[in-house]
Chain A
Amino acid sequence: MNVAQTIINGLALGALYALVAVGLALVFGVMRLINFAQGELITAGAYSLNVTSNLPLLLSIVICFAVCIGLSVAIERLAFRPLRGAAPVTTLVATFAVAFALEAVWLISFGTNGKPADVLSNLNQIAIHGSLNLRWVTIIELVAGLLLLGGTALFLARTNIGLQMRASAADFRTARLLGVRADAVISFSFVIAGVMAAVVALLFTVQQPLVTPTFGLDITIIALVGAVVGGVDRLWSATAGGFAIGFATSVLNDVLPASQQRFQTAWVFLLVIIVLLMRPAGLFSSRRGSPVERV
Chain B
Amino acid sequence: MRRLRSLQTLLASILLLAIVALIGSGASAGTQQNFITALVSATIVYGLYVFVGNSGVISFGHISFAAIGAFAAGVMTIPTGPKHLVLPGLWSFLAQHSISNFASLVLAAALGAIVALIVGFPLMRLSGIAAGIGTFAVLEISHNVLQQWTKIGPGPTTLSLVPISTGIGQALVAAIVAAIVAFAYQSSRRGRLLRAAREDAAAARAIGVNITRERLIAFTLSGAIAGLGGALLVHQLGSITTEQVYLELTFLTLAMLVIGGSASLWGATVGALSVSLLSSFLSTAENSVHVVFFQLTLPNGASNLILGVLMATMLLFRPLGLTAGREFSLGFVGRLTARARARSHPQTPEDSESRSEKVQEVEPR
Q: Which residues of A pack against B, CB within 8 Å?
A: 34, 79, 82-83, 86-90, 92-94, 96-105, 107-108, 221, 224-225, 228-229, 232, 262-266, 268-270, 272-273, 276-277, 280-281, 289, 291-295
Contacts and interface: CB of A to CB of B under 8 A. Distances in A.
Contact of B319 (A86, A221, A276): A86
A79 B258 CA distance: 16
Contacts of B148: 262-263
Identify whether the interface residues of B are mostly helix, strand, loop, or mixed. helix
5 contacts: A83-B319, A92-B58, A101-B305, A229-B133, A292-B211
A266 B141 CA distance: 4
Contacts of B5: none
The majority secondary structure among interface residues of chain A is helix
A89 B262 contact: yes
Interface string B287-328: 000000000000111111101110110011001100000000
B73 interface: no
Interface residues of B, number: 49
A223 to B, nearest CB: 12
A264 B144 CA distance: 8
Contact of A79 (B137, B307, B312): B312
A266 B140 contact: yes
A277 B122 contact: yes
Interface in B110-155: 122-123, 125-130, 132-134, 136-138, 140-141, 143-145, 148
Given A272-B133, A276-B126, A101 B141 contact: no
Max count, chain A CB within 10 A of own CB: residue among B138, B312, B316: B312
A96 B314 CA distance: 13
Given A92-B58, A94-B312, A265-B141, A292 B202 contact: yes
A293 B144 contact: no
A266 B140 CA distance: 7
A108 B137 contact: no
Contact of A97 (B123, B303, B312): B312
Given A93-B311, A269-B141, A280 B305 contact: no
A107 B300 contact: yes
Interface of B: 52, 58, 122-123, 125-130, 132-134, 136-138, 140-141, 143-145, 148, 201-202, 205, 211-212, 251, 254-255, 258-259, 262, 299-305, 307-309, 311-312, 315-316, 319-320
B292 to A, nearest CB: 25
B129 A292 contact: no
Nearest to B149: A263
Contacts of B308: 97-104
A291 B127 contact: yes
A98 B312 contact: yes
Q: List 4 A-B pairs, minimum CB-CB distance, nearest first.
A: A101-B308, A107-B301, A104-B305, A104-B304
B304 A90 contact: no
Contact of B144 (A104, A108, A265, A273): A265
A92 B304 CA distance: 18
